[in-house]
Structure 1
């Protein structure tokens, strides 16, 4: 077999070229990412109920859903949380579970929930994976000077309908998220006095709107040769049609909605504010599909954003710009790995030349480097993997290993030449004498990495790429060593055929020293003892600290300030803008000023802020990446200047989440009594501050206190019964006259807009005035 291979040089050359071309094509087809895709094990369920308190969300949504979800097979953990207007459940499953089947089972369980309260949105179910998190972040803001006087709060629906739909069509994008602003809303501002004068209740108005706002299908009607579809149109098509709606008829007089209420197309209550470098914005983030090429998505998305700017946003007085993206970090990291790979190949070539002392022999030896590197990409493509910093590291590791087989074969061929054989016969007999050893060495190396493929946790999913890349390269190196190396050696002169081993004084001295170490039994024992002792010392003294996974930190910080219970949005906005103004002076600053000690804050590249009633958040990065820790310290120090606020800052991570990474310690506190749980968690929090030096601690919920203020309306039910009021009547009326109550849906073209009933104050009722709200009762009294 080997004789046929060696004598057919042209055939082997063509085969090698074909494999090389296929490998290059494979390299361009393998997706490029930062890290391998991690297996999805978490399912999230989000349910929205606008205006509901956490207590009602828990009783009406979470308890109902948990009853059917807790029986799911293979579920390891169920965690639920209720907040104002929202319920979130997270389900954890073991590695290797069929996530498609799991999602079907989750949806089937949710379908068994009998019913939800009015105005509760359908639960959204989706699988979570860190590797599929957002990787590009955009800011949508008015043009400089805001020449069109654009109100960004009102632009949310416009952006969702006209921008998100276009960007979602970019190949490889799984989701585009838009946050900030507020959804449009039809606000019906009822005047309680005018209602009372006309002896109408708020529920009368609600029922009248719902009864009118309906389209009813009437089937089909034949007329001559034609068949017509029949519909009765009742839905409102304009604000004016709402104003003209008849609420009640009293004799010959009509009471219209416009007589008792002011109607406007506005927006719902603002839940948060977003800013980029102190400019109000809408925030858009892009998620990718698993297995997609993050580099291709980046440039395709930038092209799509440019088209959206020209066709949609600029004509409407807005612009969209990139705030931050992880793809650049991916490109830089992969570029560094490629550079290290090239340097490794160069150094391996130099070392090989120093030992072989022949240019032609070295050229034959390094023949396998490009072929084996290309084979690694073929292996990654065949295994469904991606090009990332980890798989490229495997390729770099394999370079030195791939030369081992070549060196063994070249040395055997050279030995045969020195024995007087011609080139072809030396190549044939040389490879025949060592091919079994090469095969055994290759298989043992592959078997070392093979077990990594069977590790199902995150470590296995991350480092299996290394195993695949090295195994494919080593296997290719064996094939190169027993085919291409002897074929090329049979046609080249190494220039070493007449070189004598005795010509090397270094070799003789080295062999002499080795002989002296093993000359006697005592020396052999001493050599073994010293070797074992040094090895143990290296293991004990030089082994670096152990971690489950590397941190993979980015020079980007996510810094949060949690507000005490009961803070409202306006209070946090005032604090947030003050903090934002303080740090804005360092955006684009000279980095050397911080190095010289002229400022306490490093120069900042950008400042992205988000303000909500529960807290304030900064996403930023320094101009000099080395200043990231100092920037985090400066932000947390500023946060702590405000009494009652709790600060937490963490670096972004390419491997774990942005809330502490793999070096965080997570502590779950559970029990039957909520007060005891909070007290234990707070005691743990304070103890951690004492034990650790300046720790970065965060908690969920953000406030470890049950002091959230709440007002409870407790009706006099005897009096309510006398007035003909039910619990639903009282509750709906109180909601409408304070924070607003959902009544029905309004359609504008294809857009669905909620209609809400409010009091005359439009949801800005003062606490002191709650007891004086006028309510007309069915008995005719106020």
Structure 2
């Protein structure tokens, strides 16, 4: 029994199968992510190493060249690009397409571990970063207000960031810009020399004193108490009163050789929003989540927090990916729907019969909904590419439907019963429309297999 004959003779069974598939299609459609473009993982990793206060030439000699040599021995490396600038070394390792980037990044980390001991001690640990389109921020705010950007940044760190971090779908929150607190110890070289001390001794003493030490535990009755020695500095005065050394019976304090000031880190860049100093708030989403839904949750959370925020604090959206995504996907979906409606109208115009036109009108949305099951199963999202493919599929569906319906219509005009006409008409052109569909698929097959 062929598929057309089965569909005609087992109408109820086929109808139930269609309804079940449609139900799961709607369920999958409701869980699909919504993005601008499909998630793309470019086969490259970046090795970022910072070494503050060092000139670009020394960065190249001390960091960039050793890293280039060691990562060049990783398997499947295609190209290596590097940039050396003041305080920063960036080495980009490009791999062949098709390489498992997780394994490749781990291989790079393993190779870097070979030279860790040979890199400058003051340089920060190398950071290995993979490139992915999902790593771009989905929401970008410029925040102004409060006394200064240091107070503003502290407020965002303590109150806003923890709330957003807990939202479903949020991967991380970054706060950038503004003034950052820094305790500076300005040493008087002449006084240090007069006390027969060195700068290394001062640094070592401050590092030794600024620690909390665990002292084990004490058991008293049925209770156990943890013992800790609290030694971390809490204010500038405590740092100034730290004893560096003893000269005879006379202690030498930090205040005797230096001035301690509570200041800010050196400003190397500035951020301004609406001509006012600001702090940047960026939000990253988890891979595969719906960008629009995540952004809506973030905005709802910020709206709930507004009554508890300072009155002069203002959040200005600098970049909102959800707005762009909604505009692009709505336009793409609207165009696909308009094309489907026009195709159905043209079918009615040529056949001049409402029954076959109604069948095609139901087949188009049913097929589109069913496609959501495949998208969800293969972890795809609704984006410009998938919606464009869906529009192409709708066009092919209408073409094939017109051929089948017209052939069935011809059998009916020859006097055959509707069931017989449906079975024979569909079976006669089944191989032809299958070959036509496979021909269209074969055109795009090389793109899928390209490397």
Match of 1:76, SS?
strand
Match of 2:405, SS?
helix
Q: Deviations over 1:525-565 (max 9, x none)?
A: xxxxxxxxxxxxxxxxxxxxxxxxxxxxxxxxxxxxxxxxx
Q: What is the correspondence of 1:628-777 to structure 2 with a 5 Å cutoff?
A: none
CA RMSD after TM alignment:
2.7
CA 1:29–1:242 in 2, change beyond 3 Å: closer, same or farther? Answer: same
Which residue of structure 1 aligns with residue 339 of structure 2? 344
Structure 2 residue runs of 5 or longer lacking an equivalent are: none
State how far apart, in whole Å, the 2-side matches of 1:60 and 1:154 are: 38
CA 1:374–1:256 in 2, change beyond 3 Å: closer, same or farther? Answer: same
1:364 matches 2:359: yes
1:141 matches 2:144: yes
Which residue of structure 2 aligns with residue 574 of structure 1? none
Contact 1:42 1:129 in 2 (8 A): no
State how far apart, in whole Å, the 1-side matches of 2:365 and 2:398 are: 11
| Residue 110 of structure 1: how far off its partner (Å) | 2.0
State how far apart, in whole Å, the 2-side matches of 1:310 and 1:412 are: 67
CA 1:151–1:448 in 2, change beyond 3 Å: closer, same or farther? Answer: same
Match of 2:93, SS?
strand
Match of 2:324 among 320, 329, 342: 329
State how far apart, in whole Å, the 2-side matches of 1:14 and 1:126 are: 50
Q: Deviations over 1:628-664 (max 9, x none)?
A: xxxxxxxxxxxxxxxxxxxxxxxxxxxxxxxxxxxxx
| Residue 231 of structure 1: how far off its partner (Å) | 5.2
| Residue 161 of structure 1: how far off its partner (Å) | 5.0
1:314 matches 2:316: no
1:404 matches 2:399: yes
Match of 1:43 among 42, 45, 49: 45
Which residue of structure 2 aligns with residue 152 of structure 1? 149
State how far apart, in whole Å, the 2-side matches of 1:400 and 1:225 are: 77
Contact 1:182 1:271 in 2 (8 A): no
Match of 1:95 among 94, 97, 102: 97
1:275 matches 2:272: yes
Contact 1:217 1:232 in 2 (8 A): yes
Match of 1:366, SS?
helix
Which residue of structure 1 aligns with residue 289 of structure 2? 292
Higher share of residues assigned helix: 2
Match of 1:114, SS?
helix
State how far apart, in whole Å, the 2-side matches of 1:412 and 1:19 are: 27
Match of 1:19 among 18, 21, 28: 21
1:82 matches 2:84: yes
Matched residue count: 448
State how far apart, in whole Å, the 1-side matches of 2:208 and 2:403 are: 89
Which residue of structure 1 aligns with residue 184 of structure 2? 187
TM-score normalised per structure 2:
0.89
TM-score normalised per structure 1:
0.53
1:202 matches 2:173: no
Contact 1:171 1:297 in 2 (8 A): yes
Match of 1:124 among 117, 122, 127: 127
Match of 2:399, SS?
helix
Match of 1:125, SS?
strand
State how far apart, in whole Å, the 2-side matches of 1:358 and 1:192 are: 99
Match of 2:427 among 401, 424, 432: 432
Q: What is the correspondence of 1:346-495 to structure 2 with a 5 Å cutoff?
A: 346-456=341-451
Structure 1 residue runs of 5 or longer lacking an equivalent are: 143-147, 457-782
State how far apart, in whole Å, the 2-side matches of 1:251 and 1:90 are: 57
Which residue of structure 2 aligns with residue 486 of structure 1? none
Contact 2:178 2:277 in 1 (8 A): no
State how far apart, in whole Å, the 1-side matches of 2:313 and 2:194 are: 47
Match of 2:184, SS?
strand
Match of 2:236 among 219, 225, 239: 239
Contact 1:173 1:297 in 2 (8 A): yes
Which residue of structure 2 aligns with residue 649 of structure 1? none
| Residue 56 of structure 1: how far off its partner (Å) | 3.1
CA 1:174–1:225 in 2, change beyond 3 Å: closer, same or farther? Answer: closer
Instruction: Could you list the structure 1 runs, at least 4 aligned residues long, displaced by more than 4 angstroms after superposition.
Output: 214-234, 307-311
Match of 1:28 among 24, 27, 30: 30
| Residue 141 of structure 1: how far off its partner (Å) | 1.0
| Residue 36 of structure 1: how far off its partner (Å) | 0.9
CA 1:343–1:211 in 2, change beyond 3 Å: closer, same or farther? Answer: closer
CA 1:383–1:452 in 2, change beyond 3 Å: closer, same or farther? Answer: farther
| Residue 222 of structure 1: how far off its partner (Å) | 6.7
State how far apart, in whole Å, the 1-side matches of 2:426 and 2:416 are: 13
CA 1:421–1:208 in 2, change beyond 3 Å: closer, same or farther? Answer: closer
Which residue of structure 2 aligns with residue 706 of structure 1? none
| Residue 120 of structure 1: how far off its partner (Å) | 2.8
State how far apart, in whole Å, the 2-side matches of 1:449 and 1:185 are: 58
Q: What is the correspondence of 1:258-273 to structure 2 with a 5 Å cutoff?
A: 258-273=255-270
Match of 1:264, SS?
strand
Contact 1:221 1:228 in 2 (8 A): yes
Match of 1:324, SS?
strand
Contact 1:157 1:184 in 2 (8 A): no
State how far apart, in whole Å, the 2-side matches of 1:221 and 1:153 are: 41
